[in-house]
Amino acid sequence: MLLKDCMPFLLHEFSSESDLVKAIEEVSEKFTSQRENISHYLSDKRLTSAYTAFYLTTNFPKLREVFRWLPPEWTAALKHCNFIDVGAGPGTFSLAWKMFGGEGKIYQVETSEVMTLQAKRLWEGLMPNSPVEYLKTIKKMPNSFLFFGHSANEMGAAKVIRYVEDTTPEHILFIEPGTKSFFPEMLKIRDYLLSRNFNVLFPCPTALECPMKNSSEDWCHQIIHVRQEDDVERLTQLVKKDRRTLPLTVHAYSRQGSFKTPQERLVRVLPDTKFSFEWEVCHNNNLEHYQVMKRNLEKSRLKELALLVAGSSVETILDKNIEQTKRVEIIKFHK
């Protein structure tokens, strides 16, 4: 998604690039330090337009990269579902989902009138004749895919659970901030969903208890690297916000049968040494220290392994146990 493609369909017409940059900086400042007044900011067409210009363009590649992690047979099944976007805002993720091939009807759940007005303007301009319904409250529907894009962290676990109970979806995906503060809420949601016979598809290897559940310092999150379009990259540089390396909390669940999921996933990349890569890995819901020796690895493989991040999956064979460390050999991996 190019910045120039969405600019004609914003509610507010910015007089210049610097005018847009100033508005984005204002949105960022208000959303981080004055969150108690968010409802007021979301009624401002100028700030809503600035928010849309920045996040519509950058959420497209974010969603694409997240789906690269998920079981392909699951993502293929999702395309036929009704898509329920909770806390949809101006519809940034909904539009991305539709442009990536979603075939079902789109339901955008949003209480802000201005955000909904902006969403309608975008759909009419970018994807006219798409089946979209705008809701203030949720409703039950068959064959549904419930989506939370940076909204579950705003409402908390209790309200997320009510949304699940009210819609009884077949599938659920969370893309939330990768913060320590949100992690306990995500674990509450995870526990609830597993108790209701959902299967966890990502990031957990199994439905066993999270090994970080009782830790006050550790939290599970992922990192994605994305490439922005040139005009979007210029905008991110002007507002001094990195949208290429993004920490996220991604969780995926399904009521349907089990899908093949990796049993070994990186949760933390530790500082490597001259001789080895060092990782903390969730292996069948146990945290283990993996060590991969660099000797005898080709330069191309060294470069590939250096790019692995929290969230990457690996498949290994054990070489030897060294105290609390497993020295392993890599069979295959997925960035």
220-277 pLDDT tens trace: 999 999 888 999 999 999 999 888 899 999 999 999 877 888 999 999 999 999 999 9
Question: What confidence score (pLDDT) does residue 208 get?
Answer: 94
- Tokens 């957990």 belong to residue: 204
Residue 36 predicted with pLDDT over 70: no
How far apart are alpha carbons 26 and 269 in whole angstroms?
Answer: 34
Q: Is the pLDDT of residue 38 over 70?
A: no
Of the candidates 213, 221, 195, 200, the residue with the CA atom closest to the CA atom of residue 280: 221
pLDDT at 159 over 70: yes
Please say if the pLDDT value at position 42 is more than 90.
no
Q: What is the three-class DSSP state of 320?
A: strand
pLDDT at 153: 94
Dig out the tokens for 127 from the structure. 């994807």
pLDDT digits (tens, 9 = 90+) for 166-177: 999 999 999 999
CA atoms within 13 A on the CB side of 314: 26
DSSP 7: G
* Cβ 313 vs Cβ 335: under 8 Å: no
Question: Helix, strand, or coil here: 23?
Answer: helix
Q: How far apart are CA 37 and CA 42, in angstroms?
A: 9
pLDDT-based confidence at 128, cuts 50/70/90? Answer: very high
CA distances 297 to 151, 265, 317, 329, Å, are 43, 21, 15, 10
- Residue 158: helix, strand or coil by DSSP? helix
% of the chain with per-residue pLDDT over 90: 83
Q: Which residue has the tokens 């994605």?
A: 224
Which residue has 């676990």 as its token pair?
157
DSSP assignments along 77-106, one per residue: HHTTSEEEEET-TTTHHHHHHHHTT--S-E
User: What does the mean pLDDT of the chain come to?
Assistant: 92
Among residues 305, 299, 225, 293, which one has the least CA distance to residue 269? 305
171, two tokens? 């599938």
SS3 57: helix
Cis amide prior to 169 (ω within 30 degrees) = no
